[in-house]
């Protein structure tokens, strides 16, 4: 029986049911992700893949939860490297197709990485002005007004 997480959590704490891993976290998907994590469409399987996986790790009676946290971490790190590289070099057309396979958490990071890259490019190619401190300007002003003299000996 498929249940919402909040209900499964509630019932498992009262020992009324023993939860099992959802279909999208079964052995077949794990094998696919260990092979080539970047090519697997996680959004199609579960939009909140990492968030739900993290919550599933908190269930004490869950079958197969022993290595779930390590699996989620390995999956995220392998996908994150590719996602970060792609975010800096992809065009708008590529972005649309690539964002279809990302989970909500990955999509948020991808969007922020692209915004960061664009902000860096704007900064690097912009004309910068030299900003002097107020204290230094006041010192020069006093020197010019004749209030401060320095003698060399």
Domain assignment present for residue 148? The answer is no
Q: What would the pLDDT profile of 11-47 be if each residue is shown by its tens digit?
A: 888 888 888 888 878 788 878 777 676 677 888 888 8
Q: Is residue 94 part of a domain?
A: yes
pLDDT of residue 34: 75
Helix axes 5-13, 49-57, angle to 10 degrees: 0
Tell me whether residue 56 is in a domain: yes
CB 63, CB 3: distance < 8 Å: no
Here the tokens at position 78 are 């392998």
Within a domain: residue 44? yes
Confidence tier at 3 by pLDDT (50, 70, 90): confident
6 domain-assigned: no
User: Is residue 153, in this structure, part of any structural domain at all?
Assistant: no
At 81-130, the pLDDT tens digits run: 888 888 888 777 778 877 888 888 988 998 898 899 889 888 888 876 77
Cα 50 to Cα 60: distance, rounded to the nearest angstrom: 18
Q: What is the pLDDT of residue 37?
A: 64
Residue 145: predicted pLDDT: 58
What pLDDT sits at residue 81?
A: 84
Residue 31: what pLDDT?
80
Q: Is residue 141 part of a domain?
A: no
Q: What is the pLDDT of residue 123?
A: 85
Please tell me the distance from the alpha carbon of residue 8 to that of residue 21, in angstroms, as a whole number. 11
Domain enclosing residue 108, as ranges: 25-125
pLDDT at 61 over 80: no
Does 146 map to a domain?
no
User: What's the CATH code of the domain at 77?
Assistant: 1.20.58.2050
Say how many domains are in the chain: 1
Rounded to an integer, the average pLDDT of 52-74 is 80
Instruction: Supply 136's token pair.
Output: 């230094």
Classified as helix, coil or strand, 64 is: coil
pTM: 0.67
């Amino acid at each position: 029986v498929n249940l919402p997480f909040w209900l499964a959590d509630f019932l498992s704490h009262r020992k009324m049911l023993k939860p099992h891993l959802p279909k999208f976290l079964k052995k077949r998907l794990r094998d696919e992700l260990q092979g080539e994590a970047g090519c697997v469409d996680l959004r199609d399987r579960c939009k909140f893949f990492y968030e739900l996986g993290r919550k599933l790790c908190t269930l004490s009676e869950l079958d197969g939860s022993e290595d779930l946290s390590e699996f989620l971490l390995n999956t995220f790190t392998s996908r994150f490297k590719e996602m970060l590289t792609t975010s800096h070099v992809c065009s708008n057309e590529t972005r649309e197709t690539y964002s279809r396979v990302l989970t909500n958490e990955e999509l948020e990071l991808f969007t922020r990485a692209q915004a960061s890259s664009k902000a860096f490019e704007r900064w690097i190619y912009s004309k910068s002005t030299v900003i002097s401190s107020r204290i230094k300007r006041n010192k020069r002003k006093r020197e010019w007004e004749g209030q401060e003299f320095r003698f060399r000996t």
